[in-house]
Amino acid sequence: MKKIRNILLISLLIFSSCDEDVINTPSDRLRTIPLMEIQIPQEEYVELLSNKIVDFETSCRLSYNGEIYEAIISASGAGSRYLDKWAFRLKLLNGKLIEGLNEFNLSAQAYDPTGLYTTVASHLYRQLGFPTFFSRHVFVKINGKDYGLYPMLERVDENFFIKRGARVSELFKLSFDARFSFEETNYPQFSFEKKIPDDNNFNSLIEFILARDTSKSNVLESSLSKFIDIDKYLEYHVLTSLMFNSDGFTNNFFLVKESPTSPFKVIPWDFDKCFTRPSTAPLAGYNQIITKLFTSQNLLQRYKELAYLLTETVYTEQNIFPAIDSTAAVIKDAYNLDSYLGKGRYIFDDEIQKLKNYIVERRKYFRDNINSYQGF
């Protein structure tokens, strides 16, 4: 007993170097998901809170699964920075890793009332062979205050490809309202971020956009396939439309080239806007890639056939509901302690049922209408 008291005292002393006293809160009793406790010196904590719109960084110390880590913390996300619950980016120091990661996001998932959209979308994209980022739920406390339930997300960077033994020549991330055409004013440098390599060379992206604009419908597959993997893009667009991830058409996904001469492929990213449109939302979300592909009747027909196939094999209750139920059982207690989600704002079981209902209704809408679909 004395040994246990000494261990507790040492743990308390480790964190007492920060100015904020640690306060026991209900999250201390969580057993189903890990607790991530972050301690920031009080002055820097106040400055972080008042500078969440900019990328202000400060040092912190965190505890996770019984280990102590030194890290750099900053605000993260886009629109979530303006909401009550906002996101963080953490970079561990001294070569340490958490869940195999030295850098990760704690994502606010501001538009997800279930805490499950990342789980469901990742499950489905992975089944179609798309590279998906690692994620797991954690409960976050900062300076003794419960911040709530967060998915910890692996960042798509050089380490992402190294861990998977995957080749990468170039990597672009769509930022906001990205356009794939020069038929109207378009400055790719404003709506795409060049991630790998860290330079200002947008030539390959510009060539792709020019090919999109100039390729003739009767030779579209042979001309445009040099610039984008058409088959994989159609898979991505169908599945993203089934979930209607409104951020997944002109925002929040990556384009990767494995080699300088290979076509672009898609890496999905950020899923909190899935399932947020009515189940009767369009059968194909809008961007200039899909509108061009649909000028080919062959590609439009391939999209329709693929959509129907996915509603038989992947986008089904039998495939999705077990993933929902198993994760819901793990996060329910943490969800109810999250002041942004639980505690009266949402009722967890009701939100889970709404998600299941959406999946059933969306699948039916596709199956009833996809054969007569004529594109845009």
Q: How far, CA to CA in Å, does 32 sit from each of 105, 134, 185?
A: 21, 19, 51
pLDDT in tens, 271-311: 999 999 999 999 999 999 999 999 999 999 999 999 999 99
Q: Would you say the C-alpha torsion 204, 209, 213, 215 has a positive or negative sign?
A: positive
Which residues are CB-contacts of 96 (< 8 A; sequence separation ≥ 6)?
Answer: 69, 70, 102
For residues 215 and 207, what is the distance between their CA atoms, to the nearest angstrom? 12
* Residue 53 banded pLDDT, cuts 50, 70, 90: confident
Residues 346, 112, 121: CA angle, nearest 5 degrees: 135
pLDDT score, position 25? 67
Residue that has been written with the tokens 């970079």 in this structure: 91
- 289, 250 Cβ separation under 8 angstroms: no
Structure tokens at 109: 């998932």
pLDDT score, position 6? 42
For residues 359 and 363, what is the distance between their CA atoms, to the nearest angstrom? 6
pLDDT score, position 24? 52
Residue 160's closest CA among 254, 89, 232, 261?
Answer: 254
User: Before 197, cis peptide (omega within 30)?
Assistant: yes
Residue that has been written with the tokens 């040492």 in this structure: 10
Q: Where are the domains of the chain?
A: 2-106+132-154, 166-315+358-372
- Mean pLDDT is lowest, of 79-93, 115-129, 136-150, 260-274, for 79-93
Q: Helices 230-243 and 297-313, interaxial angle, to 10°? A: 50
